[in-house]
Amino acid sequence: MPKINKPLIALLGFCVIAISACAKKEIQNIDSFGENIVCFGDSITFGYGVKPGEDYPSVLSKMVKMPVINAGVDGDTSISAFKRIDKDVLDKKPFLVLIEFCGNDFLKDIPRESTMNNVRAMILKAQGQGAITAIVDVSAGFFLRDYREKFARLAKDTGSIFVPAVLSGIITNPAMKSDFMHPNQEGYRIIAQRIYRAISPYLKSE
């Protein structure tokens, strides 16, 4: 039986821990002292098409061990949302802010660069208050694919969590939708699961 090189194993273990720690530190404000998770978005966050309690923030609240606030507004764009961020997000003592915009920006022909600038401004405001930030990517289909690429870069540049393609397999599946563009109860449940997987490493431990 070959000898086990204990010092080498210990060194490798240390390297793995160090790499993991460094990766985690890329996210800003991981020691946030906020109290609530705030979901800031449009109709997808609001929960259009389902009953109260079936929206993704409500489902997410059952997965995490802290309060989750739904700050979604049906029809909101990144422009109109920025005007309400102080009242609807920053005043809620956010620990983590989930930011979900682009669908209505696309429908209203708001330039991509304006959307990115608005979301960046939201991120910086939330981070300035000490909150962790996450971009929830709801882009889907060929015409919105470039949003995903831009959001991924923005998340990296700002030290935000990136939650990609939460509508994947939902937007193209009639059994997962309440209408042509909004999820149904099962669709929102899947979105909540995908978001939970992305944010769980940064949640407060018991």
Which helix (DSSP H) or strand (DSSP E) does residue 40 occupy? Answer: strand 36-41
Angle 152-154-157 (CA atoms, 0-180°, nearest 5)?
110
Could you tell me the domains of the chain? 6-202 (3.40.50.1110)
Distance CA(127)–CA(112), nearest Å, equals 22
pLDDT tens-digit profile, the chain (206 residues):
445 454 444 444 434 333 343 345 499 999 999 999 999 999 999 999 999 999 999 999 999 989 999 999 999 999 999 999 999 999 999 999 999 999 999 999 999 999 999 999 999 999 999 999 999 999 987 667 899 999 999 999 999 999 999 999 999 999 999 998 899 999 999 999 999 999 999 998 74
- B/e letters for 29-52, b = 16+ CB within 10 Å, e = fewer, are beebebebbbbbbbbbbbbbbbee
Helix runs in 73-136, H state only: 78-82, 85-88, 103-107, 112-128
CA atoms within 13 A on the CB side of 78: 24
Q: What is the pLDDT of residue 14?
A: 37
Q: Record the pTM.
A: 0.87
